[in-house]
Amino acid sequence: MTDPNGLTAGEVEIPTGDLRIPAYRAKPGSGASFPTILVVQEIFGIHEHIKDLCRRLARIGYLSVAPYLYEREGDVSSLMTIEEIRAKVVSRVPDAQVMRDLDATVDWAAQDGGDISRLAAAGFCWGGRIVWLYAAHNARLKAGAAWYGRLAGATTALQPKNPVDIAGDLQAPVIGLYGGRDAGIPLDTVEQMRRALQTANKPDNIHVYPEAQHGFNANYRPAYDPAAATDAWAKMLAFFHAHGAC
């Protein structure tokens, strides 16, 4: 785990619409005008792994903030299975609401020492899909990183589009980081996304780690793949640097 000493790190609240949502923020302990990164949660919410990722990013100079994007729909920490989390909470979270809450988080970060002219987003699992959508939503975003986020599949009235549907609307480049053995994200959907990007004349920055599984960056899971995680992390940071989000 990343040592918080020397950082300003902890729980904060983000005003958005009709309420204040909890978030975890980490940034260097001194200075200002930090490049800013939205850390978009796994399906499991803001747990210690996500907080640790925020601290890792703060160590290299980012103001990193992870808003709790299920605040209106419920707490998933006591739910036992992914199926329960999806049915009881995640299925009820509107994409449009998530976009508004992320916009509010960017505005909040600008008042907390963040330089939002150097704005990035990194999302993991559930958050990987959200990063693709956010790159089509917010023109202020310089670059995104989608870690094993769903690309295609069933839609609903609350979640009406998948990344493959909005490839032509991307306003910022996204690096996609996927596992070749991801049981939940078939490789044919990765190829579908590649084709959608090509058709839209958008850059294809998707990287597939052939032996990696879903969640290969999550060091608390059996699927953790240190080699793939290390390489993907370096690729993400280089991508942000190349696109002015550092």
The rounded distance, in Å, linking the Cα atoms of 209 and 231 is: 10
Catalytic: which of 49, 54, 95, 125? 125
Catalytic: which of 49, 101, 137, 214? 214
Cα atoms found within 13 Å of the Cα of residue 189, Cβ hemisphere only: 22
Q: Is 182 a catalytic residue?
A: yes
Q: Is 246 a catalytic residue?
A: no
Catalytic: which of 95, 182, 225, 246? 182
Hey, what are 144's tokens? 């995104």
Q: Is 75 a catalytic residue?
A: no
Which residue, 45, 134, 128, 64, is CA-closest to 95? 134
Residues serving a catalytic function are 125, 182, 214
